[in-house]
Amino acid sequence: MSNCCDKREEIFRAALELIAEQGFHGAPMAMIAERAGVAAGTIYRYFENKDALIVDLFHEIDDKIGAVIMQDYQQAKPLRERFHHIFTTLARYFVKHPLHFRYIEQFHNSPYGVEFKRDILQRKTGDCHIYRDLLEEGVAQQVIKDLPMPILFALAFGPLKVVVRDHILGFVALEDELIDKLMAACWDGIRR
Amino acid sequence: MSNCCDKREEIFRAALELIAEQGFHGAPMAMIAERAGVAAGTIYRYFENKDALIVDLFHEIDDKIGAVIMQDYQQAKPLRERFHHIFTTLARYFVKHPLHFRYIEQFHNSPYGVEFKRDILQRKTGDCHIYRDLLEEGVAQQVIKDLPMPILFALAFGPLKVVVRDHILGFVALEDELIDKLMAACWDGIRR
DNA sequence: CGAGAGCGAATGATCGTTCACTCCGATTGT
DNA sequence: ACAATCGGAGTGAACGATCATTCGCTCTCG
C-alpha cells in the first residue's frame, strides 16, 4: 500500500486551497486532482464523492481548531480570562490560517452549513459547549447580560468573524494589540 | 410595447426567491424563467446575462434599503439616537424582508461580493457614508472608541447580521424589544 | 504472477446562452 | 376602410461548455 495517507493529505490540501480561495464553483474535481498531483479518479479511492470530501475536510479543520482552543484552556480561571483566552486564540488561529477561515466561511454559507448548524443547536453536540457554558455561567453570575444565547453568541463572536474577513481581504491589519482591543470591546457588549 | 416592465419585475421576483432560498447553484436560468412565467430566452431581452441579472438585483435591493434608512434619518439628532434609528430600521427591514437579507448574504459570499466591497472601501461611494460618518463623528467627539473604521463597523453591525440570520433560520424570535436590547449591547461595544 | 493502487479518457447530466422562428400591434399604402 | 408590411417582444429547442463520476486498463509491489 506504500504511503497511502500521503495522497489523502495532498487531496485535502489542494481542496482546501481551491475552495477557500475560489469557492465551491472554482474547485472542480479535475482541478483539485491536478493540484494534488493525482488523477481525477484517484480522489474516489479516498472519498465517496465530492460532498464527502467537503464534509470530511470541514470536520478535519473544525476538530483542529477545537483542539487548539482546548489546549491551554483552564476551567478554573475567572470568567473574563477564559473569554480572553478563547477570543484571542481563535483570532490568532484565523490570522495564522486564513485558508481555514475562508473554508469554514464557504462551508457555512452553503447547503452543507445550514444542515450543520441545525445539528449543533438541536443535538447540542461538539465543542460549542465551551462557548455556551462560558456564557451561561456568566449570565448565572450576573456578570453577563441576560439575553438569549444566540444573541450573546452574536455579540461575543460576530464582530470577530467580520474583522477576520476584513483582515484577510486586506482592509485592516489584525495585530495582537488590535485583537486585544477588539476582545475588550466585545466584552463590553456582553457584560452587564 | 404593452407592459414591458411587468416581466422584468417578475424575473426579479423569481430570481430573488430562488437565489435567496437555494443559493446561486439552485437557481438555473431555466428555473428562474419558469417561476417568472416567461421563456428562458426572454430573460436575455432584459439582462445581458446571468451576472448582470444578479448584480442589478443586488443594487435594486441595496438602493431600497438605503432609501428606507434615509427616509426618517435626522442629521440634527444626537449621535446615539441616530445610531438607534439606523440599527432598528435595518433590523426591522430584514425581519420584514427575509428574502432580501438572504439574497444580500448570498451576494456578499460570492465573487461578486468581494469585488463590490473593494469598490466601497476604495471609491468611498454609496450609502455607507451614513454609517461611516456617524462612527467618525462619534470618534471625534470622544463618545466612541478610537478604533479603525472596519473594527467599529464590525462591532456595530456584525452582531446584527448574525442575529438576523439566526432569526430567519428560526433559532431566535427577533421581536422589537429584543432588537432594542441588541442595539443597546452593540452600543456598549463601541462607546467609550 | 496476482492484487490492488492509480490512472485518465469516456460518459451522461446540467446549465448558460443563442438564434431561427412565431405572433401581434402599429404603420403604411391604396 | 382594408390589406399588406414591418418591427420587435417573446419563444424554446438546440448547442457547446463544464463537471462529477465511472471503469477498463496499466503498472508496481510483494
How large is the ipTM?
0.91
Q: Which of B71, B68, B186, B67 lies closest to B138, judged by CA?
A: B186
Q: Please write the tens of the pLDDT for every residue from A135-147.
A: 999 999 999 999 9
Q: Do B159 and A151 touch (CB under 8 A)?
A: yes
Type of residue numbered A8: R
Q: Name the grid cell of B57.
A: 438585483
CA distances from B10 to A92, B19, B62, B78, B88 (A): 47, 14, 18, 42, 30
Q: Which CATH class is domain B50-190?
A: mainly alpha
Q: Where are the domains of chain A?
A: 1-47, 51-190
Evaluate if residue B128 carries a pLDDT over 90: no
Q: Name the grid cell of A74.
A: 483552564
Evaluate if residue A8 carries a pLDDT over 80: yes
Q: Write the burial class of residue B93 (CB in 10 Å: 0-12 exposed, 13-18 middle, 19+ buried).
A: middle
Give the DSSP H or E segment for A158: helix A149-168
- Which residues, 6+ apart, have CB-to-CB distance to B74 below 8 Å? B82, B85
- Find out whether A182 and B144 touch, Cβ atoms under 8 Å: no
The whole-number pLDDT of residue B112 equals 85
pLDDT band at A115 (very low <50, low <70, confident <90, very high): confident
One fold for A1-47 and A51-190? no
pLDDT band at B129 (very low <50, low <70, confident <90, very high): confident
**Angstrom distance (rounded) from CA A139 to CA A146:** 6
Q: Which nucleotide is nearest to B50 (CA to C1')?
A: C16
- CATH code of the region A51-190: 1.10.357.10
Q: Please write the tens of the pLDDT for every residue from B35-85.
A: 999 999 999 999 999 999 999 999 999 999 999 999 999 999 999 999 999
- CATH code of the region A1-47: 1.10.10.60
Asked if the C-beta of B179 comes within 8 angstroms of chain A's C-beta atoms, the answer is no
Alpha helices per DSSP H over A72-110: 79-96, 98-108
The whole-number pLDDT of residue B5 equals 59
Distance from CA of A5 to the nearest CA of B (A): 32
Burial A58-79 (b: 16+ CB within 10 A, else e): beebbeebeebbeeeeeeeeeb
Q: Do B155 and A186 touch (CB under 8 A)?
A: yes
